[in-house]
A = this chain, B = another copy of it.
Amino acid sequence: MSVPAAVGLGTHPGVAMARHLTAPALVAAVDRLGGRLAEVCGYQIGARDEHGGHTATVGGKLLRPAFTLLSAVAAGGSPRDAVPAATAIELLHNASLVHDDIMDGDRYRRGRPTVWAHYGVPMAILAGDALIALGFEVLGEKGSVTALARTLRLLALGQDRDLEFETRRSVSVPECLAMLTGKTGVLLGCACALGAASAGAPDEWVDRFDRWGTHLGVAFQLVDDLLGIWGDPAVTGKPVGADLRARKKSAPVVAALSVDLGLARTYASPGDWDDAEVARVTGMIERTGAREWVRSEIDRRTEAAWAELDDLDLEPAARRDLHTLTAALAVRDH
């Protein structure tokens, strides 16, 4: 449902209350994303203009929040208690608008280009996912839901960084590691934290399992990145040099590009590479020491991971299983 502007609902007390109570919560939630996603999601809710600048308010009539707040009051409660729910509903509503507009090919909404029309389909997919994540996060329930919602938000931010790196000539090693943490570390961290939490472990244990899994997730991704360049196609199932041919900015490439300007020029040049060119570029990367650096980073991450659990009194058989599983996954390039 959408509502024509001329109905003039803006003065209805429920709508005015929704604007007063939920608009600031919406803006705060979206701003918390930071970076491009804050801008794109802010654009969707009308809190940002087409150039990323903050507007004075949010768009839409906030009808659903008005119904949430008025329902709370009608049922004998306070509207303030219903603000998280009202905010969550409006975020979910906007998420579905962003995604539906892509699917329906709709180019205009509320008199402006839709998110996909203005920022492209990839950003619109990510923005919808981020708005869903924020919806569950603002509900503010403790425990596994909040952890899962936070993870979904960080995955979207990690993927956004990854997409952005593709358009940049230069990416620093710390930026690359931060992106890997978002794209693969946080999900494994959340997997481990939720496991510990479902065992009824104390918060400090849950946090340690989270950091342990996050470090390991980054280490495993670095193993993947090595295999993407030096892996045996019979083992990886991918053709030799597939990552290089696609000009992926994987960790070894980022490390190598940061020291070899000739390689940077080669990598930025368009066109398909034959096997000889792939072999030549692979050699250039190896000579920068990038392969060794990634290997040592895998070791550092693995050590940092286990340091988190070292002094916890874990169930011995499960600790052994976690060790063997980790060791199998951290088998480095073949």
Contact = CB atoms under 8 A, between A and B. Distances in A.
Contact of A191 (B89, B144, B145): B89
B122 A197 contact: no
A231 interface: yes
Nearest to A13: B321
Given A121-B102, A191-B67, A220-B1, A74 B136 contact: no
A178 interface: no
A192 B100 CA distance: 23
A322 B209 contact: no
Contacts of A68: 191-192, 194-195, 198
Contacts of A307: none
A68 B209 CA distance: 10
A145 B136 contact: yes
A299 B63 CA distance: 20
- Which secondary structure characterizes the binding site on chain A? helix
Given A235-B6, A325-B67, A194 B74 contact: no
Contacts of A216: 67
Interface string A153-179: 001000100010000000000000000
A228 B255 CA distance: 56
B103 A69 contact: no
A163 B26 CA distance: 29
B128 A73 contact: no
A93 to B, nearest CB: 6
Interface string A313-334: 0110111011011001101000
Interface residues of A, number: 109
Interface in A77-95: 77-78, 81-82, 84-86, 88-89, 92-93, 95
Interface stretch (A45-53, A182-190, A278-286): A182-190
A125 B98 CA distance: 11
A70 B325 contact: yes
A222 to B, nearest CB: 9
Interface stretch (A29-37, A199-207, A257-265, A267-275): A199-207
B14 A321 contact: yes
A89 B76 CA distance: 37
Contacts of A197: 85
A45 to B, nearest CB: 16
23 contacts: A1-B188, A1-B217, A1-B220, A3-B329, A4-B235, A7-B328, A9-B328, A12-B325, A65-B191, A67-B192, A67-B195, A67-B322, A70-B321, A72-B199, A74-B319, A86-B191, A96-B152, A96-B187, A100-B159, A125-B128, A139-B144, A141-B145, A145-B145
The 5 residue pairs across chains A and B that have the minimum distance between CB atoms: A77-B199, A71-B195, A85-B194, A73-B318, A103-B122
Given A4-B235, A102-B125, A136-B145, 14 more contacts: A1-B184, A1-B223, A7-B329, A9-B328, A71-B194, A71-B199, A74-B195, A76-B199, A76-B200, A81-B199, A82-B195, A92-B152, A99-B126, A139-B148
